[in-house]
Amino acid sequence: MNSVALGPPLQLDGIIPFGLRLSSTLAIWTAVSSFIALSILLLFPDWTEPAVRTARVSTLMSAAIGLFAILGVVIVGGILAVALSFLLFVGWIIWVVALVPLVVFGVGSYAVSVITFGAVLSRKLGHDSIWLGVFVGALALTLLSFVPVLGAIVSFVVQTVGFGASLRVTFGSGPSDRHDRTIPSAHDL
């Protein structure tokens, strides 16, 4: 019996880093994302849980705040980078010192986005647990990173919501509850 080939085999050489197999890369990135999210959740539960609740309850507001904040960080960061580069050594020291809190906050908001995405997915599967959300979110975002365009778009939106919710809990309105939703849930309609 002759086999019919439908085309050349799928080549993933450019996608998978360091020549690892797809399963190894998936396991490593899922473990790293889970570790980050779990660490932030264990170290700062009084900040993480309200941020996750805010991202879940007030998603559109968190996304809008996150998008404007990302644009602001990019614009102000670019201006500061150019302005401080004229100060040479002292300017770069100031830039690095200013960048450290932003990176730390970015890691925290990444954890919020992973947990929120996982909590939403796990709730759709019938298990409403923030702890299960850590692993489900890490696995789902890692799997999405292998989808060329759609994965990048979904990851950007999820992380924008997480960043906005983190900003709201840290600097702004505080945690959201059910009453300040911008759009009523489908169950209320």
The mean pLDDT value for 76-104 works out to: 79
Percent residues over pLDDT 70 in the chain:
79
Are 122 and 136 a contacting pair, CB within 8 Å? yes
Q: What's the count of helices (H) and strands (E) in the chain, helices before strands?
A: 6, 0
Instruction: Kindly give the residue spans of alpha helices, DSSP state H, lying in 125-149.
Output: 130-144
Q: How far is CA 31 from CA 27, 70, 139, in A?
A: 6, 26, 8
* Cβ atoms of 108 and 55 closer than 8 Å: no
Buried b (16+ CB within 10 A) or exposed e, 138-152: bbbbbebbeeeeeee
Comparing CA positions, the residue from 47, 32, 55, 24 lying closest to residue 134 is 32
Residue 188: pLDDT band with limits 50, 70, 90: low
pLDDT (0 to 100) of residue 112: 94
Q: Is 123:27 a contact under the CB 8 Å cutoff?
A: no
> How high is the pLDDT of residue 28?
85
Lowest mean pLDDT among 9-13, 79-83, 87-91: 9-13
SS3 117: helix
Q: Which residue, among 144, 135, 147, has the nearest Cα to 41 in the 3D structure?
A: 135
Handedness of CA 22, 25, 28, 31 (dihedral sign): negative
